[in-house]
Amino acid sequence: MTARIIDGTAIAARIREQLLVEAQSFTKRTRVRPGLVVILVGDNPASQVYVRSKRKACLDLGWYSDVIHLPAETEQRRVEETIDKLNADPLVHGILLQLPLPDHLDEQTLLQRIRPEKDVDGFHPLNVGKLVLGLPAPIPCTPLGIQRLLIEEGIETSGKFAVVVGRSNIVGKPVATLLMRKGPGGDATVCVCHSRSENLPQIIRQADILIAAVGRPHFIKGGWIKPGATVIDVGINRVDDPDAPRGYRLVGDVDFENARAIAGAITPVPGGVGPMTIAMLLHNTLWCAKNLTA
């Protein structure tokens, strides 16, 4: 059996078209154009690529978007002032602090400085609490994108055994929460694994749905996958490739070629979860704009 490839690029494009129409009718009704501002501190090359594509995605829909690029040595106080200004700016509905930050900055303090109503990443403790309680709030983009992929692909989650490998605040914990919540794309029985988990291959072998968010190239082997399982590969890892134009290529956390022969459905890297993350950022920006305008 060869797994069905889940085309995240195509699904994300459809979602963006829906958001364009939804935003047009919102703007017509309210005269408000959704606006997103990204704060980038330092010169991390991967962050620069992500920030550019986030801004472009907004501009493509005709929304307001800007990037505030601060030097790597910017002091905490200066970043806080930047956030305060954006919190007060009526043109800005979404504020995104691009991670990772330089080591001297206190990430949690800065994330908590963002008004929860403008927290398009869903990282503010108030929004994390709402996610756990099942209350309306912006939900972290990558986990929301993963759940949406499952729903759009018609993959049943209710009653299924889902294994999440990784327990980060950005991916692992929120995606596990979403999968266990009541409703579409939820109601799964969820197991979360991490670097201290024992017998990982045996646990993964039971998964009807596997979410891999480890950050290690090809860490999960094809032989660990349950036949017919759905595999969502969140990992984005650069590996050297002298034949590639930039000298590297991107691979996921799952040994794609071998897993593909066993799984029922699988996301590629790139072209799986990545485009969904951007689509959900747009979704959250419009959600915040509507909420702030109501």
Ligand X SMILES: NC(=O)c1ccc[n+]([C@@H]2O[C@H](COP(=O)([O-])OP(=O)(O)OC[C@H]3O[C@@H](n4cnc5c(N)ncnc54)[C@H](OP(=O)(O)O)[C@@H]3O)[C@@H](O)[C@H]2O)c1
Residue 16 CB, nearest approach to ligand X (Å): 15
Q: Does 274 bind ligand X (CB under 6 A)?
A: yes
Residue 85 CB, nearest approach to ligand X (Å): 27
Distances (CA, A) of 184 to 147, 190, 246, 265: 9, 15, 41, 19
Residue 253 CB, nearest approach to ligand X (Å): 6
Distance CA 16, CA 29 (A): 20
Catalytic residue (choose from 28, 56, 103, 121):
121
Q: Which range of residues in 85-93, 110-118, 176-184, 269-277 is near ligand X by CB under 6 A?
A: 269-277
Q: Does 166 bind ligand X (CB under 6 A)?
A: yes
54 included as an active-site residue? yes
Per-residue buried b or exposed e for 1-31, using 16+ beta carbons within 10 Å of the residue's own CB: eebeebbbeebbeebbeebeeebeebeeeee
Of 186, 235, 264, 268, which lies in the binding site for ligand X, with binding defined by CB under 6 A?
235
160 included as an active-site residue? no
Q: Does 174 bind ligand X (CB under 6 A)?
A: no
**Are the beta carbons of 13 and 276 closer than 8 angstroms?**
no
Residue 293 CB, nearest approach to ligand X (Å): 28
Q: Is the dihedral of CA 135, 175, 208, 15 positive or negative?
A: positive
121 included as an active-site residue? yes
Q: Environment class of residue 253 by beta-carbon count within 10 Å: exposed (0-12), middle (13-18) or buried (19+)?
A: buried
Strands 237-240 and 248-251: antiparallel
SS3 239: strand
Distance CA 55, CA 100 (A): 18
Q: Which range of residues in 23-31, 63-71, 212-220, 256-264 is near ligand X by CB under 6 A?
A: 212-220
**Are the beta carbons of 235 and 271 closer than 8 angstroms?**
no
Residue 121 CB, nearest approach to ligand X (Å): 11
Of 33, 115, 167, 238, which lies in the binding site for ligand X, with binding defined by CB under 6 A?
167
Q: Is the dihedral of CA 78, 79, 85, 87 positive or negative?
A: negative
Of 122, 172, 174, 185, which lies in the binding site for ligand X, with binding defined by CB under 6 A?
172
Query: Which residues ranging from 188 to 207 are in contact with ligand X (CB under 6 A)?
Result: 193-197, 200
Q: Which range of residues in 76-84, 131-139, 149-157, 167-175 is near ligand X by CB under 6 A?
A: 167-175
Q: Does 237 bind ligand X (CB under 6 A)?
A: yes
Q: Which residues are catalytic?
A: 54, 98, 121
